[in-house]
Amino acid sequence: MRNRQLELATAKNCKHGQKLVYKSAYNGWQLFCLALLGWLWAPPYASAEEEVYLRLQVAEPYVELHTGPGRGFPVYHVIGRHDWIEIIKRRTDWFRVRAKDNKEGWVFIDQIELTLATPGQQTKFAIIQQQDFAQRRFESGVLVGDFEGASLITLYSGYHFTKNLSVELGISQASATFTNSILVNLNLVSKPFPAWRVSPFFTLGMGHLKNKPRATFLLADETSDVTANAGIGAQAYLTRRFVFRGDVKQYISFTSDEDNGEFLEWKFGFSFFF
């Protein structure tokens, strides 16, 4: 039954000429209301309070500052023993630090862990790893699931403007009995509790849905429609840079003949941040 619902384009071109109204049994406006409630509830921007950075003392003869978070970036400055540095941010195993002369650069974790937080005590970063999950800027992932009865696979990437607000671009392929569908989405994502290990989120977005009939179903034409969607989901921080993620979305497809369709999608998978 659900595969039959997915074939909006093909059903319109059946030889009997019968037009079907494309509706999901799920009420799409419920998810829209939940997403809007999440946007009103969540703070749109991170706290404006002045941040306090962790200060560490260099214990080795020197620490090398790279121009970027990777071994391929050149070393442009060296901080000597007994000098103090501030940890500004973390990106996987690289730390952006500030020296006493206000020079900033990136240091690998091997050197950072040889610094001293208090006299004689080596620095540990177990807590900072989870904090970095809340402070991430980029993330990408692969998800699988169901799109109104069709098998779904999704690739996405996101950029975080603040701890609470990000934008995501995703491309999905849904394979059903009679059609293959390509769905491209651009979504705004609101996270009311970004520091939680399991963090809920709400999404609102627009996209484009293209349905292409399989070669064995010759009576149907390709269709191309604009879509809107709203959804809810959650991300669970696992370890280091890896995250488990799942979400549910409701889509509305705006067709040219005003027979707007509704689609329910769910998916889950893994992503990583950097």
Q: Which single residue is written with the structure tokens 């996101």?
A: 158
Residue type at 179? T
Q: What confidence category does residue 8 fall into, taking pLDDT thresholds of 50, 70 and 90? A: very low
Q: What is the mean pLDDT of residues 217-236?
A: 84
The answer to whether 147 and 170 are in contact (CB under 8 A) is no
Query: Would you state the pLDDT for residue 229?
Result: 95
- Of the candidates 52, 25, 7, 54, the one whose C-alpha atom is nearest the C-alpha of residue 223 is 7
The answer to whether 249 and 209 are in contact (CB under 8 A) is no
Q: In what order do the strands lie in the sheet with 104-108?
A: 75-80, 62-66, 104-108, 94-98, 84-91, 54-57, 116-118, 121-122
Looking at the predicted structure, is the pLDDT value of residue 23 above 70? Answer: no
pLDDT tens digits along 89-109: 877 778 899 988 888 999 887
Looking at the predicted structure, is the pLDDT value of residue 234 above 80? Answer: yes
Q: Using alpha carbons, list the distances in angstroms from residue 109 to 76, 90, 113, 237.
A: 18, 10, 6, 20
DSSP 166-222: EEEEEEEEEE-SSEEEEEEEEEEEE-S-TTSSEEEEEEEEEEEEEEEE-TT-TT---
Q: What confidence category does residue 117 fall into, taking pLDDT thresholds of 50, 70 and 90? A: low
Query: Would you state the pLDDT for residue 17?
Result: 35
- Could you tell me how far CA 175 lies from the centroid of its own chain? 23
Token pair belonging to 162: 């603040």
Domains of the chain: 2-45+135-273 (2.40.160.20), 54-127 (2.30.30.40)
Residue type at 40? L
Please tell me whether residue 34 adopts helix, strand or coil conformation: helix
Q: What confidence category does residue 11 fall into, taking pLDDT thresholds of 50, 70 and 90? A: very low
Q: Using alpha carbons, list the distances in angstroms from residue 85 to 80, 106, 112, 184.
A: 10, 11, 10, 44
The answer to whether 66 and 106 are in contact (CB under 8 A) is yes
Query: Would you state the pLDDT for residue 82?
Result: 82
Q: What confidence category does residue 186 fall into, taking pLDDT thresholds of 50, 70 and 90? A: very high
The answer to whether 203 and 177 are in contact (CB under 8 A) is no
Looking at the predicted structure, is the pLDDT value of residue 120 above 50? Answer: yes
